[in-house]
Copies of this chain bind each other. A is one copy, B any other.
Amino acid sequence: MYQLPANLRKIALFLKRLPGIGEKTANRLAFFLLKIPDEDLQDFAQSISQLKRKTKMCQVCFNFTEDKICSICQDEKRDKGVIMVVETVVDLLSFEVGGIYQGVYHVLHGKIDPLNRIGPEDIKINDLLIRIKKSLAQKASIREIILATNPDMEGEATALFIKKKLEKLKQENGFFFKISRLAYGLPVGANLEYADYVTLKRAMDNRINY
């Protein structure tokens, strides 16, 4: 069978490994790269080559950073008393793009997912507990932990697991902080007709005074 020239084929094969990119898309992207100025390709190649060496995890919140501590944790304007627990850096970015949150984060880098053999010890849950303990031992005030895992089954299970761990931590150490979870309800701009009944039930149960 006919195959693409070696270099182009290698690129297509690599791109095929990325999530959501099938064989045809990988080929199309590889061809598209041929239209990009060589200078930009060289820059891109260099970034790729340096990626792992340069990009580390923040020692406090496990966000990606090129320093020891990420720019959010370094930012003096951010409220260190509120920690939002998210599954991934993509989720963190969603809040940052909106600019709707002024606290800090804790990135779990995954969720508890027994079907894929990911247990609590495989994500940064223990690091969260250690972080809170350390902070409170240093008399830093932590007022609230917001559990912002996804509203799917694994995200729920992860939130519940962390909640229990946090409750225990509070009890055993006499700590006090609020534990909260993002609200469920109708997405803004959505149509009732297309909402699933679980969402509708949650929207009913959590209805607000108006």
Contacts and interface: CB of A to CB of B under 8 A. Distances in A.
A152 B35 CA distance: 23
Contact of A49 (B41, B66, B72, B96): B41
Q: Which residue, of A2, A32, A46, A93, has the highest number of chain B Cβ atoms within 10 A?
A: A2
A5 B65 contact: yes
A123 interface: no
Contact of A7 (B20, B24, B66): B66
A86 B71 CA distance: 50
A197 to B, nearest CB: 28
Interface in A29-48: 29, 31-34, 36, 38, 40-48
Taken together, the copies of this chain in the complex come to 2
B18 A99 contact: no
Given A27-B90, A29-B19, A96-B1, A11 B41 contact: no
A164 to B, nearest CB: 29
Contact of A51 (B8, B48, B53, B96): B8
B28 A90 contact: yes
Given A25-B20, A90-B31, A99-B1, A11 B64 contact: no
19 contacts: A1-B99, A5-B71, A6-B66, A7-B47, A10-B47, A11-B44, A11-B47, A18-B33, A24-B90, A31-B89, A33-B48, A33-B51, A34-B52, A38-B52, A41-B48, A42-B49, A44-B48, A45-B46, A46-B49
